[in-house]
Amino acid sequence: MQSRIAIACFLAIGFFATEASPFIRERNPRAFVLAGERIRFDANLTPQFTDKQINESAEATRAGLAKWASTEHGRRFIARFNRDEYEVLITENWMEEGIGRAPQPGLATLVAAGDHSKIKAYDLILNPTFNIPRSVVNVYPLRQPATPADQMAAAWAGEMLHIYFYSNGISLPHHQRADFQQEWHLMAAELGLPNMPHADDDE
């Protein structure tokens, strides 16, 4: 009888040791990190947000990511950076003067671009409250986002394009590069904003 109880206890301990506890948070989340947790994506690369991410981030930020993730470039970029060798730390800053910004990382990160054994960390700063005047008719629908979600989708696209260039070891400035502008216009067109600029004055 005692041996059966011992075996049962051993099996129970083994079960709880191998099952992930819902009370344990990721200590070092990688890839896309929002509200301190990694953003998970399904097989179609659609973001699946946790309760904490939903409670501690703006709806426009999440809706913007979902919209960008539905585009060809969005899926391609997400597939590239959704790996443990990268960390894209998303921060919402209501004091940011534009819709988003991706500061240049340190020289060591740029130099390590081709080293898959090194973790490359990047900051992505978004302002989901950047004002879209509600009383003004959008007379440039192919140039200006119409909703906060549209605006955040453009911010995700534009700033992740900067991070893509960083991940290839290319430092600022980017806006003057023909290849940057070519990629941006393709990405903007996928979002329904083919005439939206992305230059120094638009950050």
> How many percent of the chain have pLDDT more than 90?
73
Q: What value does the CA radius of gyration of the chain take, rounded to a whole number of Å?
A: 21
Which tokens is 184 given?
A: 């941006």
The per-residue pLDDT of the chain, averaged, comes to 85
- Go through 10-38 and write b for each residue having 16 or more CB atoms within 10 A of its CB, e for each that does not: eeeeeeeeeeeeeeeeeeebbbbbbbebb
pLDDT by residue (tens digit) across 172-186?
Answer: 999 999 999 999 999
Neighbours of 121 (CB within 10 A): 14
Domain ranges of the chain: 27-130+142-202
Using DSSP bridges, classify how beta strands 31-34 and 86-92 pair: parallel, antiparallel or unpaired.
parallel
Which tokens is 121 given?
A: 């960390």
Instruction: Tell me the C-alpha distance between 121 and 135, whole Å.
Output: 40
pLDDT by residue (tens digit) across 63-93?
Answer: 999 999 999 999 999 999 999 999 999 999 9
